[in-house]
Structure 1
Amino acid sequence: MRPGIHPFSRPVVFRDRASGFHLLTRSTVDTRQTVEWEDGITYPVVDVEISSASHPFYTGNTRVVDTAGRVQCFERRYGRTTPARH
């Protein structure tokens, strides 16, 4: 491997904001936020919206999706392509 072309890898905590799940792993992501881990050492932290601890596929919990709201948002953004059927 060529020297000097690979990103710097370091321990980073990924924190799931939905469930409060924390995971300490190595990553190349750059962040300025830090958190103190269970071992008393301060690590950089990355907040994620969803992980395996809160994803419906892995947890078995279903989430109600507002499909009507999504359709209206799409039509507002891109316009209606066909007339509405009534």
Structure 2
Amino acid sequence: MSNPTEVNIAYWLCMNDICTKHNDIDEKTCKGCQAELARGATALNADIDVIGQCEGIDSNGKPVWNLHEAKRVDIWDARAERATYGYD
């Protein structure tokens, strides 16, 4: 799996839900509202599980991500317990 280095996760994004300010990657607080910043994939959605950790910056100035492996789910376990099926 390749590490995501797209510009949309290279920015530090403000976690304040009334602020959409994009900040410089080395900033610790938002320039717009002074809120604490979260980096990259963690900041894309504060309500989802963290999908990876930034391990640092590569020689091109882009973040290098260590992504967590996707959770594997058995298709039979994912089905509803009390599903009713009709057969002809």
TM-score (norm 1): 0.27
More strand by share: 1
Which is greater in Rg? 1
